[in-house]
Amino acid sequence: MRQKLVSMEEAISHIKDGMTVHIGGFLACGTPESIITALVEKGVKDLTIVANDTGYVDRGIGRLVVNNQVKKVIASHIGTNAETGRRMQSGEMEVELVPQGTLAERIRAAGYGLGGILTPTGLGTIVQEGKQIINVDGKDYLLEKPIKADVALLFGSKVDELGNVICEKTTKNFNPLMATAADLVIVESGCCHCRGDGAIRLCQHVWLRCQVGVCLQGTGRGAVRVDEWDLCQCRGP
* pLDDT over 50 at 221, yes or no: no
Q: How confident is the model over 20-46, as a mean pLDDT?
A: 94
Q: Which residues of 127-158 are buried (b: 16+ CB within 10 A; e: fewer)?
A: beeeeeeeeeeeeebbebebbbbbbbbbbbbe
State pTM to two decimals: 0.79
What is the rounded average pLDDT for all residues in the chain?
Answer: 81
Please, where are the H alpha helices in 46-168?
Answer: 62-66, 82-90, 100-112
Kindly tell me if the per-residue pLDDT of 220 is higher than 80. Answer: no
- Angstrom distance (rounded) from CA 19 to CA 156: 22
The per-residue pLDDT for range 170-212, each reduced to its tens digit, is: 888 999 999 999 999 998 887 644 444 444 444 433 333 322 2
Query: What is the side-by-side order of every strand in the sheet holding 200-203?
Result: 5-6, 200-203, 182-189, 149-156, 20-23, 47-50, 70-75, 94-97
Q: For 139-164, what is each residue's pLDDT tens digit? A: 999 999 999 999 999 988 888 777 77
Distance of CA 206 to the CA centre of its chain: 14
Beta bridge partners of 94: 72
User: In Å, how far from its chain's centre is CA 200?
Assistant: 16
What are the C-alpha distances in Å from 184 to residues 124, 148, 171?
36, 11, 20
